Amino acid sequence: MEDAFSRMQALAAQLNEASRAYYQENRELMSDREYDARYEQLQRLEEETGIVLSISPTSFVGYEVVSQLPKVRHTAPMLSLDKTKEVARLKEFLGEQKGILSWKLDGLTIVLTYEGGNLERAVTRGNGLEGEVVTANAKTFANLPRRIPFLGHLVLRGEAVITYPDFQKMNESMPEEESRYKNPRNLCAGSVRQLNSAVTAQRNVRLMAFALIEAEENGVPLALDNSNEARLLWLKKQGFEIVPYRMVTANRGQEAGCLDVETAVAAFEDAIQSFEIPSDGLVLLMDDAAYGESLGRTSKFPRNAIAFKWKDETAATFLRSIHWSPSRTGLINPVAVFDPVELEGTTVSRASVHNLSIMEELELGIGDEITVYKANMVIPQIAQNRTRSSRMTIPSCCPVCKGATAVRKVNEVKLLYCTNPDCQAKKIKSFELFVSRDAMNIDGISTATIEKWIDAGFVREYADFFSLDRYRESIVEMEGFGEKSYENMIQSAERARHTTLPRLLYSLGIAGIGLANARSICKWFGSDLNAIRNASEEELTAIDGIGPVLAASIADYFSRQENRDVLDRLLEVLQIELPEENTKKQVWKDHTFVITGAVHHFSNRNELKAYIEERGGKVTGSVSAKTSYLINNDTASESSKNKKARALGIPILSEEEFLKLSE
């Protein structure tokens, strides 16, 4: 199979190159006879294996252009992984288990769905709850099968990547240095999210599969081996290129055919210099799928896997200045500016110092010799100050509005604030958040545009973004705008008028409140905005995930009359889409369920989960002392979840038994 797959890739590439040369460059790389022979050979291999690559000339049907990428919610949240930089932590994590150690690829995570053997949908990870549909673009990935032998329902995850050689080739084709991409990940993300799939096709994006999520035939889960390695190899048989890995145990000689973790990590470290795909570390996954699932998850991380980050590369340099950067909340953040140094393959010259407490702790001074690193190989940070001169003056006025500053202590951390409520920097940052994707999602408005509109008096508060048609002639004449850009922006603003309460709450820029918290707050108060704006700190802290600091931030925001007035004027131009009223009897209020195995009365487990939640219940992924019932049609099975439920005295219900109790 592997030889056939490699041959198919080679044939498809040869035929496509020959077609490009013949039709676009009037060059002949092979005779018609040679072309036909290779084409027929590719067809035979496709019939034998049941695999058709996305780049195969036998299946190419043209490219697709869209006006925007639609968004869909993931069936389950896509969580990030807990991280460590210590091999000892990996050994502790594994214990007596066997694991899969693989590259942590630095690209864009994609969820792929196949139905009847054909690629039906590809969705980006997005914010973990909601992603963008990129199906047309995925069909152009260089190594992705458009058709596979398995004819059931398949969901898998993979990482879209661009290799270093392809990244270099792309950048070399750009004459202007300023227009070149900074790293392969940025190029990959931009390529996958293109509105024109023909552009994606030119970027040679590849997909490396790393997880099988669902495999069902006629609604029944496929009987796959309990090993995650076996599931990866099954994906490989379907024609997917899988992430390179090694089987490991905590200690040497613990199990035949496995390396000990320490040796495996060292081997990966040796290989990273020649590995052509960008990677920012390793991932260790429990091989025993059922055991890993039984571990459950925290609110942020699954417990069946952990990420390993390489020890940070550091470089010595000299601090030249501190740039003071105001934010939408009035907080002024210190940013260190130093002599440029090379770190993790890129040049860096700036690093956030975060707050005055850290600045004092480092005893920073202009001219000091410092060492810098990239946290998680991405974010520049100061590691150490070797000379510690403390030659630093805290500004007494805001660098933007020249208003007075004040040092405030929040949770024992010293912070610098601009005290001017009309500071332009606050407005710019607030408006940036307001129009952003997860907030009101108004396309076509950059920071530079916001600055111009503030200066011109077009926008003074949030509601003004919905009456910009009053300034049509002036906006069209602005640099960077024209008739088309203006029309697109106005149409986007019109669409944004129809929004949800969580988006609106998040868009207000209340300190510390993200979109996830906004959803929790709206759900808790039954989508009643008046209840939210009049809630006390005590009422707010009753919400899961809202602690005293966030509660105080929300209550303080709505205690200010100017904020309430701004919101009232905004509500006059918006249409809030309230969730449909739930008329279901809340028979499962305060009950927690776990669902496992195949379901028969529902199309899938997510439908059963929705049924429970509509009736007031909660569904989690793992059995614990807090679980009220385990739903499993095979009540007598010896699965890990059934065993744990029995040990804890938790009732195991079939669907029929559950539905009778729900009546």
| Residues marked as catalytic | 104
DSSP one-letter string for 487-517:
HHHHHHHHHHTEE-HHHHHHHTT-TT--HHH
Residue 147: its H or E element: strand 145-147
Separation in Å, CA 419 to CA 362, 403, 426: 26, 7, 11
CA–CA dist 461, 455 (Å, integer): 13
Q: Is 218 exposed, middle or buried (0-12, 13-18, 19+ CB in 10 A)?
A: exposed
CA–CA dist 618, 394 (Å, integer): 50
Q: Are strands 118-124 and 108-115 parallel, antiparallel or unpaired?
A: antiparallel
Give, in degrees to the nearest 5, the angle at Cα 649 between 643 and 653: 75
| Those residues with Cβ within 8 angstroms of residue 96's Cβ, 6 or more apart along the chain or in another chain | 250, 254
* C-alpha closest to that of 221 among 598, 608, 596: 598
Q: Are the C-beta atoms of residues 628 and 594 closer than 8 Å to each other?
A: no
* C-alpha closest to that of 286 among 303, 298, 300: 303
CA–CA dist 156, 374 (Å, integer): 31
CA–CA dist 647, 310 (Å, integer): 40
Residue 131: its H or E element: strand 130-132
Category of 533 on φ-ψ map: left (φ > 0), alpha (ψ -120 to 50) or beta: alpha
Q: Is 511 exposed, middle or buried (0-12, 13-18, 19+ CB in 10 A)?
A: middle
Q: Are strands 629-631 and 592-595 parallel, antiparallel or unpaired?
A: parallel
Give, in degrees to the nearest 5, the angle at Cα 541 between 538 and 546: 155
- The single-letter DSSP state of residue 321 is E
CA–CA dist 218, 206 (Å, integer): 30
Q: Which residues of 120-155 are buried (b: 16+ CB within 10 A; e: fewer)?
A: eebbbbbbeebbbbbbbbbbbbbbbbbbbebebbbb
The DSSP bridge partners found for residue 217 are 220
Query: What is the rounded (10 degree) CA torsion for 18, 21, 23, 24?
Result: 150
CA–CA dist 561, 568 (Å, integer): 10
Structural tokens at position 133: 């549909």
Residue 280: its H or E element: strand 279-286
Torsion sign, CA atoms 81, 82, 83, 89: negative
